[in-house]
Structure 1
Amino acid sequence: MKESLMKAASYFDVQITGKMVFGWNDRSIGSKVKNQKGICYWLRVVSEMMCWAQGDFWEGNLAANKIKGITKPRVIQIYEWEDGGIQLRAELMSFVEGRVCAFTPELRTKLDLSPRWLSELRASLDRLSFYPTERIHTKQEKVTRRFLVFYGDKIDSNITKWTTAHGDLHWANLMAPQLSILDWEGWGKAPLGYDAATLYCFSLLIPEVAEQVYQTFADILDTHEGVLAQLYVITRLLHRIDLGDFMDLAGPLHRHADDLLARLKRC
């Protein structure tokens, strides 16, 4: 991937000036770059098998350029090429100052989140939820299947409210002290509360921050739809744990699922 990043940098006539950062399973690589005029950008290269290098997920970051009123990188140029049956896509993006909230999706150290930052995050997700799109992040069929696998036939998994979501709202995709939301590959329609549920579940190892996140979105997460969104996110994260990721989240996620299931039984 390093060679691919250097090839893309040569194509865009920019110089790599920052640390190279690898994405999940080394599927992508990115770095701060600078052009001949000294203007900074972010250069990202992603790789995929040819049969998957198309559609919503492949075009997500570029398609997100149309979403206004949310602070995020903007894709400026695209370059694609094929190498040994693998399709590579380079995206030259605007550079966002600041730092990521964590270097992993799950939060492992306490964050000092200002009320303003949390308020801006809530406003951004509210704005996004109303954005009209035909893009799909997840479907009812997948929700139904996951619920059957993880919870049996205990609950009705039918989702009645769908909104536009980022789809991967974790701490490595959020920047501070000025809010910016990164990685828009998978945005699209998802159950109401999906993004809030994702961030909350990725916060469970740091209860104080988890409580801040929950209170920011309590009016959504406390609803029936919000509970279903949390239960679905838990299935997604437990699947990742089964693949070897963030193993110590398993206990908190199971306990939270038990609480949510008990809440549904009382309703």
Structure 2
Amino acid sequence: MSAPEDKASGKLWDGALDAQHVFGDLDGRRPALLAVHDASADTTAYRAELSARVDQPVLSDDPVLQPHLQLPDSWWEDLAGTLEQVAAVDTDRVAVRQQYMDRAIPEFVGIPTPAMTCWTTAHADLHWANITSPLRLLDWEGWGRAPEGVGAATLYAYTLLQTDTAARIRDAFPVLGSPAGLAAEATVCAQLLQTVARGYNLTLEAQLRDWSEELRHR
């Protein structure tokens, strides 16, 4: 990574290092950060990070799931258990801000921001290009506090083209579809619809709009 020296700090800059301090290798579910080297030259800061090698390929080359997956029940159990471990960690890092929710959910989903029942710690970038089988979760730069269920809702959003797998996610994470998960679902739906408005994730547009309609009815 590189940045101007006066901006070489903050959530993304320190995310992997913070994750190593807090989670370690997360019982083998997270590649350990082995070394960090910082340097600077001509008012630019540089950081190099060395992580443990992950031999397994990610489950999708794109965050949006394209291939049909058949994952064993044990994989889903590992994922749910790992996200529970992450959620239980106390941190002052913030992945989703209330101010963002208050602005984006009415704009992109068309409902008032749902009442928050619980904030937990989340990976915050849980999509299929960051996951392997056997289970490893990659790319921890953005982790932090978020509405309960954000991880499951994010993975669900990137799975909307594959209805069988999307249904499996709902089975694995009953917070989805519940009153407790409404804030997380609305947040993630707003985030993805915002990317559509910017010209990204266009393959998901119809499914995201259907999801937003479901959220409005709820």
Whether the 8 Å contact between 1:50 and 1:85 is mirrored in structure 2 is yes
Out of 112, 133, 151, which is 1:195 matched to? 151
Q: Tell me how far apart the structure 2 counterparts of residues 131 and 200 of structure 1 sit (CA, whole Å).
A: 23
CA shift for structure 1 position 83? 6.0
Aligned partner of 2:19 in structure 1 is 64
Deviations 1:146-167 (A, max 9, x none): 1232244x33433231001001
SS at match of 2:115: coil
Whether the 8 Å contact between 2:108 and 2:193 is mirrored in structure 1 is no
Whether the 8 Å contact between 2:16 and 2:33 is mirrored in structure 1 is yes
Q: Tell me how far apart the structure 1 counterparts of residues 54 and 209 of structure 2 sit (CA, whole Å).
A: 36
Aligned partner of 2:141 in structure 1 is 185
Q: Tell me how far apart the structure 2 counterparts of residues 236 and 88 of structure 1 sit (CA, whole Å).
A: 30
SS at match of 1:80: strand
SS at match of 1:89: strand
Which runs of at least 4 in structure 1 moved beyond 6 Å after TM superposition?
A: none
Aligned partner of 1:239 in structure 2 is 194
Out of 114, 120, 129, which is 2:87 matched to? 129
Aligned partner of 1:160 in structure 2 is 117
Within the alignment, does 1:222 sit opposite 2:180 as a pair?
Answer: no
Whether the 8 Å contact between 1:72 and 1:96 is mirrored in structure 2 is no
CA shift for structure 1 position 211? 1.0
SS at match of 2:80: helix
Q: Tell me how far apart the structure 2 counterparts of residues 185 and 106 of structure 1 sit (CA, whole Å).
A: 19
Q: CA 1:79/1:170 → structure 2, altered by over 3 Å: closer, same or farther?
A: same
Q: Tell me how far apart the structure 2 counterparts of residues 140 and 202 of structure 1 sit (CA, whole Å).
A: 23
Aligned partner of 1:251 in structure 2 is 206
Aligned partner of 2:97 in structure 1 is 139
Q: CA 1:115/1:186 → structure 2, altered by over 3 Å: closer, same or farther?
A: same
RCO higher in 1 or 2 (8 Å CA, sep ≥ 6)? 2
CA shift for structure 1 position 223? 1.6
Structure number with bigger Rg: 1
CA shift for structure 1 position 123? 0.4
Report how many residues are paired: 215
CA shift for structure 1 position 85? 5.7
Whether the 8 Å contact between 2:126 and 2:154 is mirrored in structure 1 is yes
Deviations 1:209-259 (A, max 9, x none): 1111111102x1122131221111011111222232221101100101101
Within the alignment, does 1:171 sit opposite 2:128 as a pair?
Answer: yes
Q: Tell me how far apart the structure 2 counterparts of residues 226 and 115 of structure 1 sit (CA, whole Å).
A: 23
CA shift for structure 1 position 185? 0.5
SS at match of 1:167: coil
Whichever structure has more strand as a proportion of its residues is 1
Q: Tell me how far apart the structure 2 counterparts of residues 49 and 239 of structure 1 sit (CA, whole Å).
A: 28
Deviations 1:170-207 (A, max 9, x none): 0011011x100001101110000000000001000111
Q: Tell me how far apart the structure 1 counterparts of residues 207 and 14 of structure 2 sit (CA, whole Å).
A: 34
Within the alignment, does 1:204 sit opposite 2:146 as a pair?
Answer: no
Whether the 8 Å contact between 1:62 and 1:74 is mirrored in structure 2 is no
SS at match of 2:37: strand
Out of 99, 113, 116, which is 2:74 matched to? 116
Within the alignment, does 1:78 sit opposite 2:61 as a pair?
Answer: no
The residue type equivalent to 1:108 in the other structure is Q
Q: CA 1:212/1:51 → structure 2, altered by over 3 Å: closer, same or farther?
A: farther
Unaligned runs of 5+ in 2: none
